[in-house]
């Protein structure tokens, strides 16, 4: 639709204040027009037959015209802090929607009580936003505002009015926290934008206010109000055509009405993959309005979504097991015999909706729906029982498995087919938070890949994190995350470090030291091993490259035995090569190929336990292999397949000791977590899965969590400061809060140890 159609009848631009009746206890319980269809009040009991499994049956809901226009009233209770805390689980957060100045939201309780009071909100283009409550209190916020979201929030021992508005004069998103009984403004914050094409907001059950704004550049900006300020979670290009949005905080889902495509669905978890799913498309209609009702019963946590088009007089309703179109009509007279589009004599008409809102009637548990008519500028409402949508077709086997509770794995059968199975996770999942994040890498896209930790034996607090920017450089960072070196040596993919590597004595310049520390990286620019000397301060110098016979070098790990550095490198075909690296006093390097073998499919991560002479090799899509490295003619053994709750790809591998036990940490890339396997030193081939650990955001430090991790490294060494019990470093595939190029996250060894101990205790 054109911009003119989108704005010409907007709620504020039309100059109509939102007239609210003080008797309303929910958004649509207000009295309707005296000319309303007399049958409307009887819709709810008869609605069961409207939503049936017969897709060919026409479903029609008659509308009631709202004489006073769009109405908004928020219920609240005058209760003690103890009562608020007790009632918190009873809340039902309704939909957030966006349609320029038509955007509003209401919240209703599932248990209505006699002591419920009401806050009425009126919006006027010239006078601003006024709030009045049942106690006669009043608050006026002057300005030209579009109301985005309004709700009463009860969280723990606190109750407040959350009011999110867009300031049309300053182009700021403004958030107000208001005391419901006194209507005094307790907090006011704002965020400058580059305009707003669509905006929505909602408060989650844990009291976190989420705000989504699609700006004039076509960028989706996701914020959270945290500690009295806007916290930028992530931003990314979403493209043109977005007319409105709606948030379901129960399922962490965002719905976008795209006039060109239809309805998109996105995951609002900031660590989720940036992917949008087109859940509705019809080339003949232009979707402009979308709304959600996150929770509509004590048992339901999925809710309802709805969308409308000015091209069709109806609404699409969607639940987890049903998508249904319902026609909407308005009967303006008694003698109507046929439908006519916007006829002049006020007979039965179709409407042209470009705005939709859902709310819950707290007393009857019915779903109230309101739409506008782009042609007339009027607002209309109707109602249907919530159990109609929840129960319809839910017994037909269409309900999908809840992916948050189960895991899906694939199995290759003997005849080559792939079978999928789901199973409940019996292993615990614990969360830790990072304390430091490194500076982002220079290159965009999938660039950062693999870290290694170099421990400074002379000054542990001056240790370094070495990380690959696989689009062109090898970087090093201090323990505060600051970039110290960036060596443009090519497309280095994986890196590892070795200590006390023997330097062979030859004629020529002599070295004062008989050993040096080195780093070795797999360089995809020339299929070589790039070797670096690490000096006493941690600075790296490229010594040279060792040629390999690999066709597409990829992963790498290294160990040092009797002063000799030995490197395992692999390529994308599954082939491994083992090299002995020698360095002389002239800093000339040589590599001698001593072993080669192959895994069935692409590997990457590997790590060597020198105590048991065992290398652990990760086959990304299959699992983990073990190899005896004490000899050059051993073959790898498959010891752990990828099975729930671990999900492919398995890439980064590292070893960590807790209470005398050795644990293998493997990145479970498919679910953004890390699998913890206990190793039996007397039987290094036996891996026992202890559980999973996730790295989640530390909002106080404004450091996001880690997701889609490729490489990782860990050390038990005392590095001082916050890392007295070691350090765990992981690559972060989606660096957000705010959105930036990829980087590495640093977690204390203390946090890692504590989590592993809890996992072990839980297994017992």
Does residue 98 have a pLDDT over 50?
no
* Nearest alpha carbon to residue 318 among 44, 716, 51: 51
Q: Does 223 reside within a domain?
A: yes
Residue 513's pLDDT is 59
CATH of the domain at 684: 2.120.10.30
If you average pLDDT over residues 634-643, what whole number do you get?
96
Mean pLDDT of the chain: 82
Residues 621 and 490 in one domain: yes
Which of 330, 365, 391 is the endpoint of a domain? 391
Answer yes or no: is pLDDT of 400 > 70: no
Q: How far apart are CA 723 and CA 336, in angstroms?
A: 79
Whether residue 129 lies inside any domain: the answer is yes
Q: Does residue 50 belong to any structural domain of this protein?
A: no
Q: Judging by DSSP bridges, how do beta strands 116-124 and 73-77 pair with one another?
A: antiparallel
Q: Is residue 412 part of a domain?
A: no
Tokens (6 digits) for 379: 């607002």
161-191 residue pLDDT tens? 999 999 999 999 999 999 999 999 999 999 9
> Where residue 70 falls among pLDDT bands split at 50, 70, 90?
confident
* 343: containing domain: 3-35+58-391
**Are 248 and 292 in contact, with CB atoms under 8 Å apart?**
yes
Whether residues 446 and 380 fall in one domain: no
The last residue of a domain, from among 364, 391, 418: 391
Question: Is residue 637 predicted with pLDDT exceeding 80?
Answer: yes
- pLDDT score of 494 more than 70: yes
pLDDT score of 11 more than 50 = no
- Strand runs labelled E in 145-184: 145-155, 158-167, 172-178
Dihedral angle sign, alpha carbons of residues 642, 647, 650, 654 = negative
Q: What is the CATH number of the domain that holds 142?
A: 2.130.10
* CA–CA separation, 618 and 640 (whole Å): 10
> CA–CA separation, 487 vs 711, rounded Å?
19
- The pLDDT, as a whole number, for residue 668 is 96
Are 138 and 212 part of one and the same domain? Answer: yes
Query: Based on the domain organization, do 78 and 144 belong to the same domain?
Result: yes
Domain co-membership, 153 together with 88: yes
Q: Please give the structure tokens belonging to residue 295.
A: 């929770």
- 460 lies in the same domain as 369: no
| Residue 269 shares a structural domain with residue 362 | yes
Domain end: 391, 418, 439, which one?
391
Is 577:595 a contact under the CB 8 Å cutoff? yes
Q: Quick one: pLDDT at residue 42?
A: 31
- Structural element, H or E, at residue 732: strand 727-732
CA 746/CA 467 separation, integer angstroms? 12
Query: Worst-scoring range by mean pLDDT, 249-258, 393-402, 638-647?
Result: 393-402
Counting residues of the chain whose pLDDT is more than 90, the rounded percentage is: 66
Asked whether residue 438 falls in the same domain as residue 378, the answer is no
Rounded distance between C-alpha atoms, residue 216 and residue 239, angstroms: 10
**pLDDT tens per residue across span 312-370:** 999 999 987 788 899 999 987 544 333 444 444 445 688 999 999 988 776 666 888 89
- The confidence band for 88, taking pLDDT boundaries of 50, 70 and 90, is very low
d(CA 738, CA 146): 26
- Is the pLDDT at 101 greater than 70? The verdict is no
**pLDDT given at position 580:** 97
Reply yes or no on whether the pLDDT at 47 is more than 50. no
Task: Please state, in angstroms and rounded to a whole number, the distance separating the CA atoms of residues 667 and 676.
Answer: 9
Do 385 and 432 share a domain, yes or no?
no
The answer as to whether 399 is a domain residue is: no
Contact call for residues 60 and 39 (beta carbons, < 8 A): no
**More confident position, 253 or 391:** 253
Q: Are residues 584 and 504 in the same domain?
A: yes
Please tell me the total count of domains within the chain.
Answer: 2
Is there a single domain that holds both residue 319 and residue 458?
no
**What would the mean pLDDT of 707-724 be, rounded to a whole number?**
97
CB neighbours of 624 closer than 8 A, spacing ≥ 6? 616, 617, 618, 638, 639, 640, 650, 653, 664, 666, 677, 687
pLDDT at 678 > cutoff 60: yes
Provide the token pair at 587: 């800093």
The CA-atom distances, in angstroms, between 551 and each of 191, 277, 527, 576 are 51, 37, 7, 11
Give the containing element (helix H, strand E) for 3.
helix 3-7
Q: What is the pTM of this model?
A: 0.81
**Residue 637: strand, helix, or coil:** strand
Statement: residue 387 has pLDDT above 60: yes
Say what the pLDDT of residue 45 is. 35
Query: Which pLDDT score, from 0 to 100, does residue 424 have?
Result: 34
* 692, pLDDT greater than 50: yes
Q: Is residue 411 in a domain?
A: no
Q: Is residue 543 part of a domain?
A: yes
Same domain, 380 and 440: no
pLDDT of residue 238: 95
Is the CB of residue 540 less than 8 Å from the CB of residue 487? Answer: yes
Neighbour tally for 299: CB within 10 Å = 7
With 60 as the cut, is the pLDDT of residue 574 above it?
A: yes
**pLDDT above 70 as % of the chain:** 77
Instruction: Please determine, for residue 630, whether its predicted confidence score (pLDDT) is greater than 60.
Output: yes
The pLDDT-based confidence of 53 (bands split at 50, 70, 90) is very low
520 domain residue, yes or no: yes
């Amino acid at each position: 639709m054109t911009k003119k159609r989108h704005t010409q009848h907007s709620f504020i631009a039309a100059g109509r204040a939102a007239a609210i009746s003080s008797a309303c206890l929910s958004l649509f319980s207000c009295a309707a027009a005296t000319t309303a269809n007399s049958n409307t009040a009887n819709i709810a009991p008869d609605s069961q037959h409207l939503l049936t499994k017969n897709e060919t049956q026409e479903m029609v809901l008659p509308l009631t015209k709202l004489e006073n226009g769009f109405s908004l009233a928020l219920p609240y209770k005058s209760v003690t802090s103890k009562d608020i805390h007790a009632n918190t689980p009873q809340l039902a957060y309704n939909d957030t929607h966006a349609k320029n100045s038509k955007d509003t939201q209401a919240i209703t309780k599932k248990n209505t009580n006699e002591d419920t009071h009401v806050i009425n909100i009126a919006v006027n283009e010239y006078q601003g936003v006024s709030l009045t409550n049942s106690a006669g209190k009043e608050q006026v916020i002057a300005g030209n505002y579009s109301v985005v979201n309004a709700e009463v929030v009860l969280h723990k021992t606190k109750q407040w009015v959350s009011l999110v508005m867009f300031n049309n004069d300053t182009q700021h998103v403004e958030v107000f926290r208001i005391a419901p009984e006194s209507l005094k403004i307790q907090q006011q914050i704002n965020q400058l934008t580059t305009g707003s094409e669509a905006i929505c907001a909602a408060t989650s059950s844990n009291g976190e206010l989420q705000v989504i704004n699609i700006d004039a550049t076509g960028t989706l900006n996701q914020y959270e109000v945290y500690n009295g300020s806007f916290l930028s979670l992530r931003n990314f290009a979403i493209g043109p055509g977005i007319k409105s949005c709606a948030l379901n905080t129960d399922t962490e889902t965002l719905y976008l009405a795209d006039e060109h495509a239809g309805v998109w669905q996105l995951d609002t978890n900031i660590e989720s993959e940036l992917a949008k799913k087109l859940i509705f498309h019809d080339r003949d209609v232009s979707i402009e309005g979308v709304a959600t009702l996150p929770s509509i019963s004590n048992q339901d946590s999925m809710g309802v979504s709805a969308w409308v088009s000015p091209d069709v007089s109806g609404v699409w309703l969607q639940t987890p097991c049903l998508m249904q179109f319902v026609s909407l009509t308005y009967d303006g007279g008694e003698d109507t015999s046929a439908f006519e589009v916007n006829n002049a004599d006020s007979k039965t008409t179709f409407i042209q909706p470009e705005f939709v809102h859902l709310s819950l009637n707290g007393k009857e548990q019915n779903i109230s729906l309101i739409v506008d008519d782009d042609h007339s500028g009027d607002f209309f409402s109707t109602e249907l029982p919530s159990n109609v949508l929840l129960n319809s077709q839910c017994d037909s086997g269409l309900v999908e498995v809840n992916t948050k509770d189960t895991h899906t794995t694939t199995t290759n059968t003997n005849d080559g087919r792939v079978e999928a199975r789901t199973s409940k996770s019996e292993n615990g999942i614990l969360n830790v938070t990072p304390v430091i994040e490194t500076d982002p890498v220079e290159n965009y896209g999938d660039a950062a890949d693999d870290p290694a930790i170099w421990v400074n034996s002379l000054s542990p607090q001056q240790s370094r994190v070495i990380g690959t920017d696989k689009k062109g450089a090898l970087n090093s960072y201090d323990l505060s995350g600051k970039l110290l070196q960036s060596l443009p040596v090519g497309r280095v993919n994986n890196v590892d470090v070795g200590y006390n590597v023997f330097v062979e004595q030859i004629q020529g310049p002599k070295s004062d030291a008989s050993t040096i520390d080195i780093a070795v990286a797999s360089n995809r620019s020339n299929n070589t091993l790039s070797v670096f000397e690490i000096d006493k301060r941690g600075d790296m110098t490229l010594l040279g490259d060792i040629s390999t016979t690999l066709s597409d070098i990829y992963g790498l790990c290294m160990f040092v035995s009797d002063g000799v550095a030995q490197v395992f490198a692999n390529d994308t075909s599954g082939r491994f090569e083992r090299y002995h690296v020698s360095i002389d006093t002239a800093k000339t390097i040589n590599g001698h190929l001593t072993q080669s073998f192959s895994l069935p499919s692409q590997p990457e991560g590997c790590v060597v336990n020198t105590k048991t002479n065992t290398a652990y090799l990760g086959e990304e899509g299959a699992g983990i292999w073990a190899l005896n490295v004490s000899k050059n003619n051993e073959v790898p053994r498959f010891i752990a397949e990828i099975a729930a709750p671990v999900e492919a790809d398995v890439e980064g591998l590292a070893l960590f000791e807790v209470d005398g036990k050795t644990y293998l940490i493997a990145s479970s890339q498919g679910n953004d977590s890390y699998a913890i396997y206990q190793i039996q030193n007397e039987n290094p081939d036996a891996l026992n899965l202890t559980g999973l650990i996730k790295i989640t955001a530390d909002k106080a430090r404004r450091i996001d969590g880690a997701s889609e991790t490729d490489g990782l490294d860990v050390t038990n060494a005392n590095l001082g400061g916050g890392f007295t019990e070691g350090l765990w470093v992981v690559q972060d595939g989606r660096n957000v809060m705010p959105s930036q190029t990829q980087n590495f996250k640093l977690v204390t060894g203390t946090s890692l140890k504590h989590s592993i101990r809890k996992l072990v205790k839980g297994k017992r």
